[in-house]
Amino acid sequence: MLFALLHGVFISFISNWLMPKYERYSLVKKTRESPSVWTLEFAPKEGEVFSYRAGQFAIVKNIHVPPEIKHNFRSYSILHPFDGKKLCFGIKVEGEFTAALAGLSEGSEVEISGPFGLFGIPEEKPGKEAGLENLEANKMAGKGAFEKEGAGLREEGASENLASAQKVPKYVFLAGGVGITPLLCMIEELLQKGKKGICLFYSNKYLEEVAYKKLLDGYAAKYLNLKLIYSITRECPPGVKCETGHIGFNVIKKHCPEMKGAHFFICGSKGFADAINSQLLEGGVGKERVHCEKW
Ligand SMILES: Cc1cc2nc3c(=O)[nH]c(=O)nc-3n(C[C@H](O)[C@H](O)[C@H](O)COP(=O)(O)OP(=O)(O)OC[C@H]3O[C@@H](n4cnc5c(N)ncnc54)[C@H](O)[C@@H]3O)c2cc1C
């Protein structure tokens, strides 16, 4: 009996991966976020969006791509926490497929399948290190929204709290370019839950290339519990607060001196993710606390 049940679960898992089930969606809004990154918002033609966890991805099939483009589908991380109504993706125009996707006009139809992937914030077990925080989050459950009491909003004269909220980061995010997408979703979810100690290092070649800057600056200005560090590998323009060069362990330590117990989430190109991963491991971070997604 148990064997039959497990066998059924296994078969449905495998067949979902091999033959994803697609639903029809319409492009409802397109927004340019940087010279090469677009946010595309899709609404289901019927019913609700499938439920997903922050950090997961979906497969987008562009049924309009010209036949000469190899494969008419690609994977994209989901940009914002679940709201049941829309699926948003942050897409960097790189090759022919993304050019065709970003070129779609509002109202165009695509097919989407999901959710997929295990990248995300590990579930907290009550009584463990994060137990206390979990309890706080549970107390706040139901209040939900970012604006609610206790969600770590910045207030005037809150500098002391600010220092203590940022001293012990629980969640350190490291994004390389468009790798910000799943991390943004996770950060928004943590902010919604009023979690403390969130640190984001966001690396780009030039400041003009930083996608979602206005949104992130807005969160950092509003939420005591979010520390935001831009890292620009070329030159940081005068008057702008950012780190220059590649993110190394020293830079992480400088901004997050107390890293005990923190989880690290890395997303970006293979080169970016591998470099940060080795820096963290060499710096003594346990590999069970490093979560990595590379494309
Ligand atoms: C789990 C997951 C999540 C992802 N999430 C996101 C996301 O949120 N946002 C996002 O933008 N991407 C994401 N990606 C990447 C995405 O799936 C695509 O791989 C990406 O959009 C590439 O787009 P493309 O097909 O237009 O480029 P491709 O045509 O596949 O080209 C990719 C790269 O190869 C180069 N290239 C193409 N053809 C040639 C050639 N003949 N010679 C030399 N170079 C060439 C292109 O210039 C480009 O740099 C994700 C991938 C995975 C696996």
Burial class (CB in 10 A: 0-12, 13-18, 19+), 26: middle
Name the residue with the closest Cα to ligand 1, atom 40.
Answer: 95
pLDDT band with cut points at 50, 70 and 90 for residue 160: very low
Cβ of 106 less than 6 Å from ligand 1 = no
Co-location of 172 and 275 in the same domain: yes
Q: What is the pLDDT of residues 83-103, one digit of tens each?
A: 999 999 999 999 999 999 999
CATH number at residue 210: 3.40.50.80
The mean pLDDT of the chain is: 84
Cis omega before residue 238 (within 30°)? Answer: no
Q: What is the mean pLDDT of residues 49-72?
A: 91
Mutate which of 76, 266, 269 for ligand 1 pocket (most atoms within 8 A of beta carbon): 76
Query: What is the three-class DSSP state of 232?
Result: strand
Does the residue 254 lie in any domain? Answer: yes
The answer to whether residue 1 is domain-embedded is no
- The Cα–Cα gap between 30 and 38 comes to 7
94 CA to centre of ligand 1 in angstroms = 6
Is the CB of 74 within 6 Å of ligand 1? yes
What is the b/e burial string over 90-102, where b = at least 16 CB atoms within 10 angstroms of the residue's CB? Answer: bbbbeeebbebbb
116 touches ligand 1 (CB under 6 Å): no
Count the domains in the chain: 2
CB 204 within 8 A of CB 268: no
Question: Residue 54: pLDDT above 50?
Answer: yes
Let me know: does 177 contact 93? Beta carbons within 8 Å: no
Structural domain including 226 reads 159-294
Phi-psi region of 223 (alpha: psi -120 to 50; beta: other; left: phi over 0): beta
Q: Taking 60 as the threshold, does the pLDDT of residue 164 lie above it? A: no
Last residue of a domain, one of 98, 116, 134: 116
pTM: 0.84
Q: Concatenate the DSSP letters of all residues of 31-66 into one string.
A: EE-SSSEEEEEEEESSS-PPP--TT-EEEEE-TTS-
- Average pLDDT for residues 141-167, to the nearest whole number? 44
Based on the domain organization, do 86 and 183 belong to the same domain?
A: no
pLDDT of 155 over the 80 cut: no
* Residue 270 alpha carbon to ligand 1 centre in Å: 12
Q: Compute the average pLDDT of residues 281-294.
A: 95
- 3-class state of residue 84 by DSSP: coil
Please report the atom of ligand 1 found closest to the CA of residue 89. Answer: 8
- Residue pair 64/100 in contact (Cβ under 8 Å)? The answer is yes
| pLDDT digits 0-9 by tens, 190-239 | 999 999 899 999 999 999 999 999 999 999 999 989 999 999 999 888 88
Residue 181 and residue 287 in one domain? yes
Last residue of a domain, one of 87, 116, 145: 116
Q: What is the pLDDT of residue 217?
A: 97
User: Rounded mean pLDDT of 104-112?
Assistant: 97
Query: What confidence score (pLDDT) does residue 89 get?
Result: 98
Closest ligand 1 atom to residue 92 Cα is: 11
Looking at the fold, whether 84 and 166 belong to one and the same domain comes out as no
Q: Is residue 185 part of a domain?
A: yes
Mean pLDDT over residues 18-42, rounded? 94
Dist CA 160 CA 143 (whole Å) = 26
Q: For position 100, which CATH number holds?
A: 2.40.30.10
Give the pLDDT band of residue 256 (cuts 50, 70, 90).
confident
